[in-house]
Chain A
Amino acid sequence: MLARFALKLSLKLIYVGLSLLALSVIVFVISHFAIGDPLQAFYGDVIERMNEASLARARARLGLDEPLIYQYLNYLERLINGDLGISLRYRMPVSKVLDGLFFKYFFLGFSSYLLVFLCATLIAIICALYEGRLIDKIICSTGTIFFYTPAFILSVILILIFAIHLQILPSFGAYDLGQESNLKNRLYHLILPLSVMILTHVWYYGYTFRNKLLEELRKEYILSYKAKGLNNFEIIGIKCLRNIMPTILNFMAISVPHILGGTYVVEAVFNYPGLGALAIDSAKNHDYNLLMCIVMLTGLLVIVSALLAKTLGEMADPRLKNALEVNHG
Chain B
Amino acid sequence: MRSLEVINSIPAILVVLLLGTLIRSDGILEISILVGMSSWFSLARIVRVEAKQISKQGYIEASYAMGGNFLHILIKHILPNILSPILFVLISSISFAMGTEATLSFLGLGLPPDELSLGSLLGLSKRALLQNSWPVIIFPSIILVSLLLAVTIVGSTFGTQKILKPRML
Interface of A toward B, CB cutoff 8 Å? 19, 22-23, 26, 30, 33-35, 144-145, 148-153, 156-157, 159-160, 164, 256-258, 260-262, 264-265, 268-269, 279-280, 282-284, 286-288, 291-292, 294-295, 298-299, 302-303, 306
* CB contact under 8 A between A261 and B14, given known A26-B6, A288-B21, A306-B9: yes
User: Which chain A residues border B148 with CB–CB below 8 Å?
Assistant: 148-150
CA distance A22 to B13 in the complex (A): 20
The residue that B107 contacts in the complex, of A257, A265, A282, with Cβ under 8 A, is: A265
Cβ of B152 and Cβ of A148 under 8 Å apart? Answer: yes
In the complex, chain B residues whose CB is within 8 Å of the CB of A303: 9
B144 to chain A, nearest CB (A): 7
A299 with B6: CB separation less than 8 A = yes
Given A291-B17, A294-B14, are A284 and B129 also a contact pair (CB < 8 Å)?
A: no
Find chain A residues with CB under 8 A from B99 CB: 148, 150
Contact with A along B1-41 (1 / 0, CB 8 A): 01101111111111001111111100000000000000000
Q: Which residues of chain B have C-beta atoms less than 8 A from A257's C-beta?
A: 8-12
Complex Cα–Cα for A153 and B137 (A): 8
- Give B30 Cβ to nearest chain A Cβ, in Å: 12
Contact B9–A164 (Cβ < 8 Å): no
How distant is the Cα of A239 from the Cα of B7 in the complex, in angstroms?
37
CB pair B18–A299 under 8 Å, yes or no, is no
Number of A-B contacts (CB under 8 A): 125
Q: Are A268 and B9 in contact (CB under 8 A)?
A: no
Minimal Cβ-Cβ distance residue in A for B20: A283
Chain A residue numbers with a CB within 8 Å of B22 are 30, 33-35, 288
Task: Identify the 10 closest CB pairs spanning chains A and B, nearest first.
Answer: A261-B11, A283-B17, A302-B9, A288-B21, A153-B141, A148-B148, A22-B6, A257-B11, A150-B99, A261-B13
Question: Distance in Å from the Cβ of B60 to the closest Cβ of chain A?
Answer: 26
In this complex, what residue of A is CB-closest to B3? A22
The answer to whether B158 has its CB under 8 Å from any CB of chain A is no
Complexed CA–CA distance, A268 and B8 (Å): 22
Looking at the complex, which one of A148, A260, A306 makes contact with B145 (CB distance below 8 Å)? Answer: A148
B21 to chain A, nearest CB (A): 4
A265 vs B17: C-alpha distance in the bound complex, in angstroms?
A: 11
